[in-house]
């Protein structure tokens, strides 16, 4: 066993310890362990050996494994350890079955997939997202940004500058969430927004909030699948939607974005994307985002070209997402007692462990030197832009 522990430590470069059910423990690396993994049962140990990363994570969710010390360091070490290669054949089969079972091909299943995650209620999300916009996507952290609230406001403003959104223009926010982008775009620019959202709980809340603010006629939300286009609109904003299209629905979702935009109009796709074609991790699909699939940047570009969209600019905000997730994870832990009190049956210890792993793990994933998952913002036009329809430099992004 010591040989195995030493080999893992050599790959990760982090000192750690492992405790076994019989009370024995093993340490590797110099100095005090950054974290200790405690196996509470022989079954958990077997799961980790046979199913690798998934076996270890699911044993942690079931409380037959505990982690003491720096949880982020433990997850970061796991990404470098090679555990994901153990039981890879079993995991691949399960991943393929999951994709078939939760495919977004049908509108009903796509809606159920979205509601499983985003339908947890505004009271839940309000406790740990930014106040008051409740933006559940990567923030923008240029130098001097101090808070999550600033990062999310600056993200929205950054996007508005990118697409040259102006007063009186009609834009559509695909996957509008709790409407934070629409509210700020109206308040700061006077732009008229329509949201598209397939999650009933968010739609109901947002419609009531629009009415409460007296913004009927200025802002609205349509409950519909992302593949159902109306329009056309002057501008299109899509923040955190392509990850939910699914492998076989990517083309249809990108086509809908193109159909939403008037000829000569501008839009932006903001999405998590892989570098190169890769499978989406089973953990994130099985336990967090059913039906989710992370496309490769190249996959998205191909579909955009097929739809007649001109790529104007691509920015990678990977490092910004690590900072955003750090703050979400911190607030989530700080508010866990209040979250649990909302619904103790739904927000139980298993939920706590899954979401803790999701938030902290994704932060480490975006920070990892071995990572291949990034956050892209693609500015595009419908048809070729001219010298007068779009600036000739990026100065407009930073002169504000």
Give catalytic residue positions. 362
Cα 193 to Cα 179: distance, rounded to the nearest angstrom: 9
**Residue 59: which residues within 8 A CB-CB, separation 6 or more?**
39, 41, 43, 44, 47, 48, 65
3-state secondary structure at position 106: coil
**Residue 121: which residues within 8 A CB-CB, separation 6 or more?**
201, 342
**Residue 381: which residues within 8 A CB-CB, separation 6 or more?**
264, 265, 266, 267, 309, 310, 312, 389, 390
Q: Write the DSSP assignment of 36-62 as a string of letters.
A: EEEE-SHHHHHHHHHHHHHHHHHHHHT
Residue spans of beta strands (DSSP E) within the chain? 16-19, 25-28, 35-39, 65-69, 170-174, 192-197, 219-223, 233-239, 261-274, 309-316, 373-382
Cα 253 to Cα 360: distance, rounded to the nearest angstrom: 29
For the chain, the farthest-separated pair of C-alpha atoms sits apart, in whole angstroms, at: 73
């Amino acid at each position: 066993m010591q040989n195995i522990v030493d080999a893992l430590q050599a790959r990760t470069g982090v000192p750690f310890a492992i405790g076994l059910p019989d009370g024995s423990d093993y340490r590797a690396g110099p100095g005090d362990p950054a974290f200790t993994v405690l196996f509470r049962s022989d079954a958990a140990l077997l799961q980790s050996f046979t199913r690798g990363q998934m076996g270890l994570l699911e044993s942690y969710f079931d409380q037959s494994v505990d982690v003491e010390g720096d949880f982020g360091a433990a997850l970061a070490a796991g990404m470098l350890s090679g555990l994901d290669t153990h039981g890879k054949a079993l995991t691949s089969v399960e991943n393929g079955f999951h994709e078939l079972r939760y495919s977004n091909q049908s509108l009903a299943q796509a809606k159920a997939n979205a509601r499983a995650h985003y339908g947890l209620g505004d009271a839940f999300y309000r406790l740990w997202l930014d106040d008051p916009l409740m933006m559940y996507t990567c923030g923008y952290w240029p130098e001097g940004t101090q808070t999550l609230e600033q990062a999310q406001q600056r993200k929205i403003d950054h996007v508005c500058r990118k697409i040259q959104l102006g007063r009186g223009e009609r834009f559509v926010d695909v996957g509008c969430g709790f409407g934070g982008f629409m509210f700020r775009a109206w308040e700061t620019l006077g732009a008229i927004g329509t949201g598209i959202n397939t999650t009933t709980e968010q739609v109901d809340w947002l419609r009531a909030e629009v009415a409460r603010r007296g913004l009927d006629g200025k802002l609205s939300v349509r409950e519909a699948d992302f593949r159902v286009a109306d329009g056309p609109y002057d501008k299109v904003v899509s923040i955190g939607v392509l990850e939910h299209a699914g492998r076989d629905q990517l083309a249809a979702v990108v086509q809908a974005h193109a159909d939403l935009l008037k000829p000569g109009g501008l839009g932006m796709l903001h999405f998590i994307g892989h570098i190169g074609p890769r499978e989406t991790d089973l953990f994130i699909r099985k336990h967090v985002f059913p039906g989710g699939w992370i496309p490769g940047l190249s996959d998205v570009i191909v579909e955009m070209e097929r739809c007649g969209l001109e790529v104007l600019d691509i920015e990678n905000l990977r490092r910004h997402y690590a900072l955003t997730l750090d703050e979400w994870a911190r607030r989530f832990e700080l508010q866990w007692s209040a979250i649990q009190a909302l619904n103790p049956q739904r927000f139980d210890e298993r939920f706590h462990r899954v979401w803790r792993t999701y938030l902290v793990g994704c932060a480490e994933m975006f920070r990892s030197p071995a990572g291949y998952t990034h956050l892209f913002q693609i500015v595009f036009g419908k048809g070729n832009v001219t010298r007068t329809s779009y600036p000739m430099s990026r100065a407009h992004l930073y002169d504000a």
